[in-house]
């Protein structure tokens, strides 16, 4: 399978440290940011910029394919069919039944009851650390009086690492976001952002409501040591047409406005906009059958396991490559409807993948010549196409 769409093709290396690796077929490029020394180097954040070819559709504060690593957190995460089996709803409920994840790794309960105090966890990919949930939250109110809230549910966590370190997630007053005047700024890291174009905004939805709209991208990371500016990493982007989405172009290290290292520059094997699925044909080897021609390609979680799968609208059928987490399975034929041999054409027929029966699996919806047609997702195939409406057809002027 061709995985070169929007992958880093070449790296021009100068003075900035870097790592290039291939793991399970995925290209990983990382740029670590060395910090000041400390008595125990393990307690320092390990900040770095990371490009993962398996995330080339993910657009974030560093543009397509890039993310920042090094700041650990425990958060809620969605259920998956792999861990939780077939259920009616895999989405977050924001209650104590939601799973927990440590840096996007699912936490599995090994002792006690999930979501309650004194329960213990390990990561799904066991890293031999023990994570314990505690139910008493130490808080500081406006008068700096300690308040303790005991509700028998986790309010903070401690991780006991295999190298005898203890990390606390929550609980302390210093876990909150503090005003800069209240913090010791002998050593600090400052993240500066710049505005991105409206077509490059990244929007997140929950229950069909917009909960996040990222309008900026990371421009500069400044490091201060002993209350003095030490160095900064500056990031430059280029825009891909026609959506003007951000693609990281180069990273430079500067010690002041005049003295900068030569940058690490990135070239990409393709700079086609990966979210503009309806713009023009996309060719993708082995995804759309023997013809290797896909009129449309889309990435979406088809089976509720939390991983984005590949859906290709081919000449003769709809083909799917399921995501296993570190590779895509061989493409399988899921439906013979909505394809070119059935009379569908992207120049006049809009096709969507959307959950229309509230089973948390995306269904096929097509706006044809004479109405709206639907193929429901049966978690392994799309069912027979049915006409759901005689309105909104191309022949009616839509």
pLDDT in tens, 227-276: 788 889 999 999 887 667 888 999 988 887 667 778 888 887 655 433 33
The residue among 75, 62, 114, 91 whose CA lies nearest residue 245 is 62
Concatenating the DSSP letter of every residue in 342-389 gives GT--TTT-EEEEE--SSSSS-EEEEE-SSSEEEE-B-SSSBPPPEEEE
> Could you give the 3-state DSSP secondary structure of residue 187?
strand
Please tell me the pTM assigned to this model. Answer: 0.48
The residue from 210, 244, 274 where one domain ends is 274
The reply to whether 270 and 370 lie within a common domain is: no
CA distance 391 to 398: 9
Domain co-membership, 252 together with 307: no
Report how far residue 217's alpha carbon sits from residue 197's, in angstroms, rounded to the nearest whole number. Answer: 10
Instruction: Give pLDDT tens digits for 88-118.
Output: 777 777 778 889 988 778 899 999 998 888 8
Same domain for 262 and 392? no
Q: Which carries the bigger pLDDT value, residue 27 or residue 9?
A: 27
pLDDT, tens only, 43-68: 566 788 888 776 555 678 898 888 88
Largest CA-CA distance found in the chain, in angstroms, rounded: 73
List, in order, residues 6 or more apart from 103 with CB less than 8 Å away: 72, 73
pLDDT digits (tens, 9 = 90+) for 343-376: 887 777 778 888 888 777 888 888 888 888 999 9
Looking at 217, 249, 274, which one is the last position of a domain? 274
For residues 263 and 151, membership in a common domain is answered with yes
- What is the separation of C-alpha 315 from the centre of its chain, rounded to a whole number of angstroms? 31
Residues 249 and 202 in one domain: yes
Q: Do 251 and 354 have their domain in common?
A: no
Q: DSSP secondary-structure letter at 291?
A: T
Distance CA(56)–CA(64), nearest Å, equals 6
Residues 67 and 129 in one domain: yes
Percent of the chain with pLDDT over 70: 71
DSSP 3-state of 84: helix
Reported as a single tens digit per residue, the pLDDT across 270-321 is 554 333 322 223 333 344 444 444 556 778 888 877 778 888 887 788 888 8
Alpha-carbon distance values, 117 to 65, 135, 150 (Å): 37, 5, 9
Both 171 and 217 in one domain: the answer is yes
Euclidean distance between CA atoms 278 and 94, whole angstroms: 35
Which of 258, 274, 290 finishes a domain?
274
Number of structural domains the chain divides into: 2
Q: How confident is the model at residue 137 (pLDDT cuts 50, 70, 90)?
A: low
Same structural domain, 93 and 170: yes
Please check whether residues 120 and 192 belong to one and the same domain.
yes
Domain residue limits at 268: 1-274
Q: In terms of pLDDT, which residue wins out, 179 or 73? A: 73
For residue 118, which of 130, 97, 103, 135 has the smallest C-alpha distance?
Answer: 135
Half-sphere exposure of 199 (CA within 13 A, CB side): 11
Residues 221 and 312 in one domain: no
332 and 265, same domain (yes or no): no
């Amino acid at each position: 399978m061709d995985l070169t769409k929007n992958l880093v093709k070449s790296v021009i290396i100068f003075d900035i440290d870097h790592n290039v690796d291939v793991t399970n077929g995925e290209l990983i490029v990382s740029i670590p940011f060395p910090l000041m020394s400390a008595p125990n180097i393990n307690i320092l954040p390990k900040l770095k910029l990371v490009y993962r070819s398996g995330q080339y559709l993910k657009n974030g504060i560093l543009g397509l394919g890039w993310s920042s690593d090094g700041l650990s957190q425990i958060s809620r995460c969605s259920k998956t069919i792999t861990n939780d089996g077939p259920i009616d709803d895999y989405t977050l409920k924001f209650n104590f039944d939601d799973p927990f994840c440590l840096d996007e790794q699912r936490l599995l309960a090994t002792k006690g009851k999930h979501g309650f105090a004194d329960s213990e966890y390990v990561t799904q990919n066991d890293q031999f650390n023990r994570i314990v949930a505690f139910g008493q939250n130490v808080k500081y109110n406006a008068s700096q009086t300690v308040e303790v809230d005991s509700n028998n549910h986790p309010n903070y966590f401690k991780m006991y690492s295999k190298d005898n370190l203890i990390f606390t997630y929550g609980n302390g007053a210093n876990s909150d976001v503090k005003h800069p005047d209240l913090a010791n700024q002998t050593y600090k890291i400052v993240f500066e952002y710049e505005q991105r174009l409206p077509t490059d905004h990244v929007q997140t939805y929950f229950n069909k409501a917009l909960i996040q709209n990222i309008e900026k991208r990371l421009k500069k990371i400044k490091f201060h040591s002993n209350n003095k500016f030490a160095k900064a990493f500056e990031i430059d982007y280029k825009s891909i047409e026609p959506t003007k989405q951000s693609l990281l172009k180069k990273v430079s290290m500067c010690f002041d406005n005049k003295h900068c290292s030569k940058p690490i520059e990135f070239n990409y094997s393709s700079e086609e906009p990966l979210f503009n699925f309806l713009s023009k044909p996309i060719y993708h080897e082995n995804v759309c059958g023997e013809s290797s021609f896909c009129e449309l390609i889309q990435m979406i979680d088809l089976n509720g396991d939390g991983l984005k799968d590949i859906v290709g609208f081919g000449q003769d059928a709809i083909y799917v490559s399921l995501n296993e987490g570190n590779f895509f399975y061989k493409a399988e034929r899921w439906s013979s409807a909505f394809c070119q041999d059935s009379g569908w054409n992207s120049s006049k027929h809009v096709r969507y993948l959307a959950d229309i029966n509230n089973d948390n699996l995306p269904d096929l919806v097509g706006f044809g010549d004479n109405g709206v047609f639907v193929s429901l997702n049966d978690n392994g195939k799309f069912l027979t196409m049915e006409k759901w409406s005689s309105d909104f057809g191309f022949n009616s002027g839509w």
